[in-house]
Amino acid sequence: MTQYSKNKDVAEFVRQLIKTGWRYQMGGRHGKLTSPMGKSLPVPCSPSDRRAFLNFKRDIRKLENLT
């Protein structure tokens, strides 16, 4: 199983997004999620902020609303 992030909540959320049509691509330091519409967002691999998961979900929601 691929480890998308060291944060278990972020990793599980990425797995759910991939099941719904998103694509994950490993980059240099961070992975990149690409929406079915082609918009992309970096995945926080080792978030130090305690709100990182909530911020990541917010960014995904914003990206989905743009498409």
Q: Return the CATH number at 54.
A: 3.30.920
Q: Is residue 17 part of a domain?
A: yes
pLDDT score recorded for residue 15 = 96
Mean pLDDT of 6-34: 92
**23 band by pLDDT with thresholds 50, 70 and 90:** very high
8 exposure class (CB count in 10 Å sphere: 0-12, 13-18, 19+): exposed
Q: Is residue 30 part of a domain?
A: yes
Q: Retrieve residue 14's tokens.
A: 């990425």
pTM for this structure?
A: 0.87
**Domain containing residue 13:** 8-66
